[in-house]
Amino acid sequence: MRLGDSKMKISEKGVSLIKHFEGCELKSYRCAGNVITVGWGHTKTAEENQIITQEMADFLLLDDILVFEDDVQRLVNVDLTQDQYDALVCWTFNLGATNLYSSTLLKVLNSGTYDKVSEQILRWDKSGGKPLAGLTRRRRSEALLFDTGILDFGETYA
């Protein structure tokens, strides 16, 4: 489906992938990138020592996903399957639209070279210049979903 023709929505598979790798913390904390985070990886309005309810965490997740869906739809100009779309929204949820916009991943994807996208996804597994095992698993899961539609949270390639 071409993104400009119809507004795609993330599937439950994509939401599950985000939830699995973000985890849900009801008390704010600093993530590996030293960003204040709360709920399911929410950063936009997170504050030090903030405590939220599960209901608020779930609301913030859905609100954040809408933003990242819009970013993917705005920046990608080729057809995507649902699984490819889900993988890209998950990637963008974690890394942000600025990184998607400036990435070789986007250039490769928008050129229609779908078989090279997963190797670009896999490059983004570092924080502070160092690979993090959790990010490596996440990127492998996103790449696998993009290429095959298989949802695997990384336990098979830990």
Q: Which of 22, 25, 69, 142 is catalytic?
A: 22
Measured in residues, the chain has a length of 158
Closest CA to 114 of 147, 141, 92: 147
Q: To the nearest 10°, report the CA torsion of 5, 110, 70, 2.
A: 20
Q: CB under 8 Å to 91, separation ≥6 — which residues? A: 100, 105, 121, 124, 139, 142
39 SS3 class: strand
Our answer to whether residue 155 is catalytic in this structure is: no
Q: Taking every pair of C-alpha atoms in the chain, what is the biggest distance, in angstroms?
A: 45
The catalytic site residues sit at: 22
